[in-house]
Chains A and B, each alone.
Chain A
Amino acid sequence: MTILTRLEQWKEQGKISPEQHAHLAGLSRGEPFSLFLELNVLLYAGVLAFVAGLGWTVSTWSQQLGDVLVLTVLSAILAACSWYCFSRAPAWSPAETPAPNPIFDYVLYLGALIWSLELAYLENRFHVLSGQLDLYLLATAGLFFFLAYRFDNRFVLSLGLSSLAGWFGLTISHWSAHQDAAYRGYALLYCLLVGVGGALLQRGGLKPHFFGTYLNVVANVLFWALLSGVFNRQGYGLWFLVLLIACGACFTWGLARRQFAFVAYAAVYGYVGISSLFLRGVNDESAVLSYFVVSGVAMLVLLVQIGRRFGRPA
Chain B
Amino acid sequence: MRLYSASSEESLRARKLLRDWAGDGFLNKEQYQLLEKETVSELRTTNIFLRLVLFVFTLIIVGAGAGLFFVVFLSRPSEETAGVFFLIFAAACYAAAEVSVSRARIYRYGIEEALVVCSVGFLCAGMQAAFFSGSSYSPEPDPAKCLVPAAGVVFSLWIWRRFGLSYAFLAAMIFVLFLPGHWTLSPSAQHLIVAVFYAAGLAGVAAVRARHHFNYLDEAYSLVEAFLWLGIYLAFNLQISSLNLPAQWWSGTRAASEFGRPFYWGTWVLIWCLPPIVLARGVRQKDRFVIAVGAIVAILTLVSNKPYLGRPRHTWDPMLLGMLLTSVAVCLQRWLARGPGGIRHGFTAARLLGRDKHWINVGSTVFGLLSPHSTPAPQTKSPDFRFGGGNTGGGGAGGDF
Contacts and interface: CB of A to CB of B under 8 A. Distances in A.
Whether A associates with B in a native complex is: yes
Interface of A: 1-4, 6, 10, 15-16, 20, 23-24, 27-62, 102-103, 105-106, 109, 113, 116-117, 119-125, 127, 129-131, 133, 136-137, 140, 153-159, 161-166, 169-170, 173, 213, 216-217, 260-261, 263-264, 267-268, 271, 285-286, 289-290, 292-293, 296-297, 299-300, 303-304, 306-308, 311-314
Interface in B36-73: 38-39, 44-50, 52-54, 56-58, 60-61, 63-65, 67-68, 71-72
A53 B364 contact: no
B372 interface: yes
Interface stretch (B128-136, B250-258, B351-359): B351-359
4 closest pairs, A vs B, by CB? A158-B368, A50-B322, A53-B318, A53-B319
Contact of B16 (A131, A137, A213, A313): A313
A147 to B, nearest CB: 12
Given A303-B50, A313-B19, A124 B377 contact: yes
B57 A36 contact: no
Interface in B58-114: 58, 60-61, 63-65, 67-68, 71-72, 109, 111
B328 interface: yes
A15 B30 CA distance: 10
Contacts of A312: 45-47
6 contacts: A28-B214, A49-B321, A59-B401, A131-B379, A161-B394, A217-B369
Interface stretch (B148-156, B186-194, B269-277, B382-390): B382-390
A29 B325 CA distance: 28
Interface in B354-401: 356, 359-361, 363-369, 371-379, 385, 387-388, 390-395, 397, 400-401
B375 A116 contact: yes
Given A56-B318, A166-B375, A32 B347 contact: yes
A16 B332 CA distance: 35
Interface in B226-275: none
B57 to A, nearest CB: 5
A54 B326 CA distance: 15
Contacts of B397: 162
Contacts of B52: 264
Given A39-B349, A62-B387, A130-B379, A50 B49 contact: no
Contact of B392 (A41, A53, A166): A166
B188 to A, nearest CB: 32
B49 A59 contact: no
